[in-house]
Structure 1
Amino acid sequence: MKQRSLTLVPQAASKKRLIRIARRRQKNAKELTDQADQQIEKLLIRRFDRLVSVRRFIFIWVALFGLLFLATVVQIRGLSPHYQSLQPVPGGLYSEGLVGSFTNANPLYAVSSADSAVSKLVFSGLFRYDNNNKLVGDLAHTWQVSPDGKHYTVNLRQGISWHDNQPFTADDVVFTYQTIANVQALSYLYSSWQGITITKHDNQTVIFDLPNALASFPYALTNGIIPKHLLEEIPVSQLRSAQFNTEPVGTGPFKWKLVQVEGVSTTDRRQTVNLTAYDDYHLGRPKLDGFSIITFNDEKNMTQAFNDQTINAMSGLESVPSELINQVEVYATPLNAEVMTFFNMSRPIVSDVSVRRALVSGVNRAVLTTLSSHPGSLVHSPLIKGQLGFDPSIRQLPYNPDQANQLLDQAGWVKGPDGDRYKAGQPLVISLSTQDTPTYTATAKFLQSEWSKLGVRTDVRFYPSDELQSNVIAGHDYDTLLYGISVGVDPDVFAYWHSSQASISSQGRLNLSEYQSKAADQSLEAGRTRLDPALRATKYQAFLQSWVNDAPALALYRPNFIYISRNLVFNYQRQAANSGVDRFYNVHNWMIRQERQNLE
């Protein structure tokens, strides 16, 4: 028993020692924990309030910086109008709508508004008209005329290339005009080139030899030039239907890209001719990246496309649609043209000069300026103000209804109880043919009303443009015709008033009154063959006087070409124009985009 108790004592002592060690370690751990807590409190908790203060400090400075930045932006914006402004810049695609259809871009055949527009954008001529409607060089650099007025030498610009990168030379010019002069080509320009010899002097020089002096000849050199290297192998008789005409290659500011056709029926048919800027254009790369001509069947569809923002602009309208007034940019350019009522002197009633003079003096033309939103100026003779030879003292009969009635009485046309005039039991009835458009319609009805006051009954007949041209004008099938003619810059109006141009065999038969006067013929012939401006002006006096006395037509007004765009078209500048297509004279400088830039 003693032995067993002795063995238990050491075990108990060892256990107590382990307990003391564990308690000591627990105490040390607690002390370490307390120390850690003290350090955390000292290093983190106690500094937390300071951190919050620092964050507030940083936030205040960031806020102040933001306010300063905003103030600077506001100040810059406020001051920018003083040193910056919106300026036009290059770039962008432009689309123009017009009524008609595209069929042929070849300048030898392009007559319609759509064809001539595309042709003008793709091709260049030897000459073009500037902003003041003066003739300046295009493909031509300089030109000279011989003292006798029969020989013209044209020097071409160097370094010009066709859109297919082939060089442009005198060969192309000779080829163009020799083709025009070939009757088999069927070009509408044919009659102007009979008897003229075109020769190449060298690669940059062309000589034109005329059978007679012609002062207006340079104005015949504005049509587009076509490439010999692409067309010389095509028989002349087949040129009118060549594929080239709908896939043209020119030297103009824009290159052909493609044509797209939409719509099945004729009423909703739409053609889009897409052109792209020609980088190597000789007057500088166009500012616009591309130009599209979009054709429509009628003005209603075109206006709808404009309202839908499908197109940028509309051309060829006679007036601004009422819903667009004061919402669009309108460019009204006076045309070197005249709207007249032509009296067909081959018809019995208006063959009497007294009747014609009565119809002239019985119209109060001042009212015409109220019939359109953009009325043209009144005209009084076959030449317009500003043309060489124009004489303001020589003008047609003024408005005088009493004189008009006396003239009809003298001609044997007596008023009946119903107010109408009769002669040998036959009423005084004349037909008036014109185009079915708002302005022509209003003008025709106005003339009908004015003449009815004299006892003249007027049968007004309206036609679509194509039908008027092909069925009425071509055959001179009218008593009177309300129509517009382009007189151009030069006073050579031989084609409209010389008796030779009344013949059915004449090209175009443009003497719409079938006017015949020896005095007028001699004056017109003399005026076009003199180079001295003063002498030319003198020669035209006899023609003007004969025209006023014979009254072959009633001169009405000088029309405007109306161009409508949604926004400003920068550099669209025309003081006057000979035709609507002249709007493109500086199309390479047109711009539609704007950016804010510093003032210089």
Structure 2
Amino acid sequence: MLRKQRRKAEKSALSADSRIDQHLGNKVYRFESVRRFMFGWIAIVLLIAGVTLYQFNVFYDATRQVVPAKGGVFREGIIGRFTNANPVFAVGAVDTSVSKLLYSGLLKYDGNGTLVGDLAESWTIDPGGKIYTVKLKKDVQWHDKKPLTAEDVEYTYKIIQNPDIKSPFRSSWEGVEVKKTDDRTIIFTLKGSISSFPHYLTNGIIPKHIFSKIDTQQIRSSSHNNQDVIGSGPFKLTKVEVKKSDDGRTAERISLATNTNYHLGRPKINQYFIQTYKGEDSLIRDLNQSRLDAINGVSNPEKIIAQNDKIVDMSRILTSQVNVFFKVSEPPFNDVNLRKALTLAVDRKEATKGLGYPVKISDSPFLDTTFAYDKKQIQKTDDINKANALLESSGWVMNKSTGVREKAGQKLEFSLTARSLDDYKKVSESLVQQWKAIGANVRVILLDEEEMQSAIATHNYSVVLSAISLGYDPDVFAFWHSSQKNIGSSTKLNLSEYSSKPADIALEGGRSRSDPSVRAVKYAPFTTNWLNDNPALTLYQPRYVFLVREPFYNFNTTTMSASTDRYNNVHNWTVKDKKVRK
């Protein structure tokens, strides 16, 4: 009996297990069906949502446009050192850049190279061309909120004229009487008419209430030139940090903040930083690593742009000239035939071919964009046969064993000084090879920016490859008049130390007239004498390389006289953007 009951119980249990398994199986089957159903619907919903979002984005983008936006910071890298931002003293790439951002001048250039008012509301010239009257804008303030008046303008130019100050711009202001007649009016009285005089009014104005308290002998070394700077420009100096760069060299980081009371309108960039560099390698590296937003003055920018699609080229041709200046006051370059032979031996296109970008060849002491240029009076080059003939007739005999010419026991050997930048290196190398072909042994001396400034200031060279800024007016007095050749002169920009009485008279006559056609006639004898004397070899107009990281808006400069002209509308630059409805 018991056995029967056990078998029956086991049978019942097995039956129950079977029913449970069948029930669970049905449940699982139904769950799998429901899950597949749910996942299918979820997929459909997600697909619809994705399509809808895509269509919304397409519609949104179609109804929106990217526009410049205010704010942000801008970090610019420059080769050189920061020493003095005072516009009375500032020279060199870094000093002039910082000065331009901190100070304002009476006039400035617009994007097309036309003079327009900066601090000046208006300016007039008397019929004789000797008296200029400038009216200042109302309510212009210094960074410390003090009013900027005609008294500051008068003080600035009298400081420049003071021989004890040793301003590099003093020669341009010799013999100019500066007098304020009221808080907003300044009168400049010249001894004689100088057509290019308005271009002199672009330098920065300094505050009298700051510098008049400092002894004249101490002004150049004052902390108000590089630390506690008070200007009227679009930015204010907040900090200067000196630190060691990755390569162990000293570098400066100059921090600038927006001048909210800037007379042309509050700048759209909140902060501006300038970082100094010793050379190109670290400068380019920091741009590629997004530590900088802009760099300038570098060689081979095309390579940089090709490697980084976020970098745009804002480079511009300068109204400058890269020339080879022969120091004519010393042998052997006091020999005009030697100078002419060295000039004739050079093929300008070959000399500039290594630059890797097209350049505008220059063949006259005047730029071909000015009325003083005469296409019939140009400097001839690329005639090696004539070059050799000139050397032979001058007693320079080829030593066939050395390949170097000699005269009276003296070898035709000299050094060519140039900046240690790739562009100058490449041009120098080409010149060396071309001069070697006529029996000249030339050694290149490459100097960094600071060393080059010193060499130029002291005329410590025999032959120098350098650029001069000619500007928009053909007044080349500062570069070729004999008064500008001596080390004692305030500018020393006559790098060849050229001296010619007929040339001097022509330069003086050309700058003292206002009618362009008359000035062209006056300048013609200068060109003739200059070509006959050949104090330099003109090569090409350089370009100012300015590479910027996107986004970057409102850079409207199409032509530049100097590198700092890139800042002419810096208060309108924007480095951010946003989307707005069309």
- Indicate whether the TM-score tops 0.5: yes
Measured at CA, do residues 74 and 469 of structure 1 come closer, stay the same or move farther in structure 2, by a change above 3 Å?
closer
1:494 is matched with which residue? 477
Instruction: State the 1:214 CA deviation.
Output: 1.1
In the TM superposition, residue 554 of structure 1 has moved relative to its aligned partner by 0.6
1:255 aligns with 2:250: no
Deviates more, 1:246-255 or 1:62-71: 62-71
2:518 is paired with a residue whose SS is helix
Determine helix, strand or coil for the equivalent of 2:252: strand
> Does the CA contact (< 8 Å) of 2:69 and 2:574 recur in 1?
yes
Query: Deviation at 1:557?
Result: 0.9
Q: Is the 8 A contact 1:368 1:375 kept in 2?
A: no
Q: 1:388 to 1:141 in 2, by over 3 A?
A: farther
Q: Conserved in 1, the CA contact under 8 Å of 2:551 and 2:577? A: no
Among 372, 378, 382, the residue aligned to 1:395: 378
Indicate the residue corresponding to 1:465 in structure 2. 449
Deviations along 1:518-577, one digit per CA (max 9) or x if unpaired, are 221111010011111221122111111221222111101111111122224212232221
Mapped to 2, the partners of 1:139 and 1:501 lie a distance apart of: 30
| Counterpart residue number, 2:58 | 78
1:508 pairs, out of 488, 491, 497, with 491
Q: Residue 85 of structure 1 aligns to which amino acid in structure 2?
A: Q
Choose from 280, 287, 295 the match for 1:314.
295
Whether 1:334 aligns to 2:317 is: yes
Structure 1: which amino acid aligns with 2:535?
P
Alignment of structure 1 residues 413-492 onto 2, 5 Å: 413-418=396-401, 419-470=403-454, 472-492=455-475
Query: Mapping of 1:112-511 within 5 angstroms?
Result: 112-245=92-225, 246-263=227-244, 267-320=248-301, 322=303, 325-327=306-308, 328-418=311-401, 419-470=403-454, 472-511=455-494
Contact 1:320 1:373 in 2 (8 A): no
**CA distance in 1: counterparts of 2:134 and 2:487, whole angstroms:** 35
1:49-128 residue pairs with structure 2 within 5 A? 70-128=50-108
Instruction: State the 1:589 CA deviation.
Output: 0.9
Q: Judge which range, 505-514 or 548-557, deviates more.
A: 505-514
- What is the TM-score of this pair, normalised by structure 1? 0.85
Cα gap change, 1:80 to 1:395, in 2 (>3 Å): farther
The more displaced of 511-520 and 63-72 is: 63-72
Structure 2 SS opposite 1:440: helix
Equivalent position SS for 1:185 = coil
Alpha-carbon distance between aligned partners in 1 of 2:345 and 2:44, rounded to the nearest angstrom: 83
**Residue number in structure 2 paired with 1:530:** 513
User: Are the counterparts in 1 of residues 75 and 292 from structure 2 also a CA contact under 8 Å?
Assistant: yes
Give the corresponding residue for 1:4.
none
Deviations 1:118-166 (A, max 9, x none): 1111111001111111111100011011111111000111121222222
SS in 2 for 1:257: strand
Equivalent residue for 1:576? 559
For residue 235 of structure 1, what is the amino acid of its counterpart? D
2:427 and 2:59 mapped to 1: Cα distance? 54
- SS of 1:513's partner is coil
2:526 aligns to what SS in structure 1? helix
State the Cα distance separating 1:61 from its structure 2 match: 11
How many residues matched? Answer: 543
**Separation of aligned partners in 2, 1:241 and 1:591:** 35
Are 2:164 and 2:216, in contact at CA under 8 Å, matched by a contact in 1? yes
* Distance change in 2, residues 1:455/1:162 (3 Å): same
- CA deviation after TM superposition for structure 1 residue 324, in Å: 5.3
Quote the offset at 1:503 in angstroms.
2.8
Aligned to 2:11: none
TM-score by length of 2: 0.88
Shift of 1:396: 0.2
Deviations 1:228-276 (A, max 9, x none): 2223222222211222222111111112222223228993433221111
Structure showing greater radius of gyration is: 1
Q: Is the 8 A contact 2:81 2:450 kept in 1?
A: no
Aligned letter for 2:319?
N
Instruction: Provide the secondary structure at the position in 2 that maps to 1:241.
Output: coil
Deviations 1:340-385 (A, max 9, x none): 1111112222222222111111111112342123443110011112
CA distance in 1, matches of 2:313, 2:74: 17
Q: CA RMSD in A?
A: 2.5
SS where residue 333 of structure 2 aligns? Answer: helix
Letter in 2 for 1:457: N
Percent identity, aligned pairs only, is 39
User: For structure 1, which segment, 281-290 or 191-200, has the greater mean C-alpha deviation from structure 2 after superposition?
Assistant: 191-200
Secondary structure, aligned partner of 1:136: strand
Counterpart of 1:592 (choices 564, 575, 581) is 575
- State the secondary structure of the residue aligned to 2:488: coil
Q: State the match for 1:546 in structure 2.
A: 529
- Contact 1:329/1:568 (8 A) holds in 2: no
Q: 3-state SS of the aligned residue for 2:236? A: strand
User: Residues of 2 paired with 1:62 and 1:423: CA distance?
Assistant: 96
Unaligned runs of 5+ in 2: 1-37
3-state SS in 2 of match to 1:350: coil
User: Secondary structure in 2 aligned to 1:349?
Assistant: coil
CA distance in 1, matches of 2:216, 2:525: 43
What amino acid does structure 2 have at the position aligned with 1:100? Answer: G
- Distance change (3 Å), C-alpha of 1:244 and 1:476: closer
CA positional deviation for 1:175: 1.5
Change (3 A) 1:477 1:295: closer
Give how far 1:89 is off: 1.4
